[in-house]
Amino acid sequence: MLERIQKENDIKKLNSEELECLAGEIREFLVEKVSKTGGHLASNLGVVELTMALHLICDLPKDKIIWDVGHQSYTHKLLTGRKEGFEDLRSYGGMSGFPKRKESQCDAFDTGHSSTSISAGLGYVRARDLKHEDYTVISVIGDGSLTGGMAYEALNNASNLKTNFIVVLNDNHMSISENVGGMSRYLTNLRTADIYTGLKKGVTNALQQVPVMGDRMIEHIRKTKSSIKQLVVPGMFFEDMGITYLGPIPGHNLPMLCKALKEAKKVEGPVLLHVMTTKGKGYEPAETAPDKFHGIGPFDIESGKVLAKKDGDTYTDVFGKVLCDEASRNPDIVAITAAMADGTGLARFKKHYPNRFFDVGIAEEHGVTFAAGLAAGGLKPVFAVYSSFLQRGYDQLIHDVALQNLPVVFGVDRAGLVGSDGETHQGIFDLSFLSNIPNMTVMSPKNKWELADMLRFALQMNSPVAIRYPRGKAYDGYEGCRERISYGKSEWIFEGKEIAILSVGHMFEEAVKTRDKLIEQGYEPTLINMRFIKPIDEAMIEKVCQTHKLIAVIEENVQTGACGERVSEYVMRKMLPSHVLTLALPDDYIEHGSVDVLRKMTGIDSESMSEKIIETYKEL
């Protein structure tokens, strides 16, 4: 059946038996392809029938389907003729693992972060109505994304709509409790029946014709109905906001899904369709351990085991272990995650200190201010968060933490290039946005040993601190270079002449390779580990400028506003004699691909950097 899907809307040519076969083929295809490329498997296996139903009742690309987060869009891509793209899924130049407008006109909105789909969908609805156009808008959001406040801001804003807007709640954890009993089932069935939708509209229209009393009668009936249904029917939270609630609907029953979606399209106003799905559906290892198969590398289909063996500690591992060690000695240390306990290395802390561990949900804004409150209350909060997600709490960083100079430690994980997740997840802006905040100290370690030392150092400070470190295996070289950390001071690794390389954080390994290539060419460069991005070591810069013609700053961050610009600004302001060359990422969004390939393409691999340094030095 899958071979018959060559483009959008081809699914409508299949009969009911063929559709059932198609669902099975899609699951087999996804397991086979993701086992080779890696990717988000469990979430995609859970929405096969839901995606098929959406495509059966929608006319793409005219109608708009917006996927919250977007990692569950694989079936959508298959049904819009992108089967061949799975051969190089998430590879450089290949198909993205997330919706991309530039990839297909059937991708209505680019996503990657959580809780954005309802806002985007509402924008589409308002644009549609203002332009007097006619198409359906559907936002698909998971129950996990409903822990993000932005979703509720959008729902609140949508509540006064008078035209159709469908929000599909893909609930795979039953976080909205299932109501029981005959009355609940009866009213839910009534709610999704043709007669109910028509009757509700007819009664409302009739009552509105009654002079003076009509609107009051409508309001009285609404309140009476609400008081009864509040006790027995799920979804009253949404109903009270003015959003029609339909469901819950079995998320793997294609005919019921199609029927419910058709009913949802008839509602004049916002409607939430509650769909119950099973993550990892159809592949036992993923059903048993959906978290493991959320984002997974290549794996063995038979066993479900990841093929690549772990080769040493990751930076995340080191951070989590050291934090636990320090917490055993200091009862004031508490840890915070935004629904990423495993991903940020806090699972160990959660196990050993459950009363001092806080998962705030997918709510980074709240997490930052919550940390500020903990600090104001006399505790030592450590918020471990991905770099790209910390962006969401920027106002809170400034207004709630730094303005009050509160001692919150931010473990900024996945800093720099993260690879296959692409533009929305590359942690390439944090040096820029953090180093511009007053009272904020920003550090970045060269290796695993220095990360441990920096975390211990940060826990002793009485002001906000951010430590940035990358995804993947922690560099364990240069263990002997472990000079005691001194606030705002860099570390001299090799002293040379004429050319100085200033390395920022985990780019140290690449900086060492760059230095080696320069030595092969007859140069004798100095190598300095910056350690602190804010404050920068001004005394070190002045000393370097006395004996070096060229300073090359190496960092994995966009060039604008980062360390290289800070060094360059200081040199110019002090009218120092050296030339500063910043080797950083371009002022652009970096697409998906392996880190090695992306460094090569952006010119921050050792080969490219050594060539650029020599070229610049010869021009001086």
Q: What would the pLDDT profile of 135-157 be if each residue is shown by its tens digit?
A: 999 999 999 899 899 999 999 99
Q: Where are the alpha helices (DSSP H) in 169-247?
A: 182-191, 194-208, 214-232, 236-240
Catalytic residue among 8, 263, 364, 450: 364
Give me the CATH topology for the region 315-468. Answer: Rossmann fold (3.40.50)
Query: According to CATH, where is 3.40.50.920 located in the chain?
Result: 491-619
Asked whether 294 and 284 are in contact (CB, 8 A), the reply is no
Q: Where are the alpha helices (DSSP H) in 108-181?
A: 117-130, 149-158
Longest dimension (CA), the chain: 95
pLDDT of residue 291: 87
pLDDT of residue 178: 38
Query: According to CATH, where is 3.40.50.970 located in the chain?
Result: 2-178+234-284, 315-468
What phi, psi does 526 have (nearest 5°)? Answer: -80, 145
Beta strand spans in 37-164 (E): 64-67, 137-142
Provide, for the chain, the percentages of residues in helix, strand and coil under a 3-state DSSP scheme, each rounded to the nearest 5. 45, 15, 40
pLDDT in tens, 193-245: 444 455 455 555 655 666 655 666 545 555 555 444 554 456 788 998 999 99
pLDDT of residue 184: 34
Is 222 considered catalytic here? no
Asked whether 74 and 99 are in contact (CB, 8 A), the reply is no
Which pLDDT band holds residue 84 (cuts at 50, 70, 90)? very high
Which pLDDT band holds residue 333 (cuts at 50, 70, 90)? very high
- Of 159-173, 210-224, 286-300, 365-379, where does mean pLDDT reach its minimum? 210-224
Query: How far is Cα 269 from Cα 286, in angstroms, rounded to an integer?
Result: 37
- Residue 460, pLDDT above cutoff 50: yes
Asked whether 71 and 295 are in contact (CB, 8 A), the reply is yes
pLDDT of residue 309: 78
Angle in degrees, CA 433, 407, 409, rounded to 5: 60
For 312, left (φ over 0), alpha (ψ -120 to 50), or beta? left
pLDDT of residue 237: 86
pLDDT of residue 228: 45
Catalytic residue among 100, 292, 392, 448: 392
pLDDT of residue 26: 97
> What average pLDDT does the chain have?
91
Give me the CATH topology for the region 491-619. Answer: Rossmann fold (3.40.50)
CATH 3.40.50.970: does it fit domain 2-178+234-284?
yes
Which pLDDT band holds residue 188 (cuts at 50, 70, 90)? very low
Is 309 considered catalytic here? no
For 496, left (φ over 0), alpha (ψ -120 to 50), or beta? beta
Catalytic residue among 279, 414, 446, 599: 279
Is 281 considered catalytic here? no
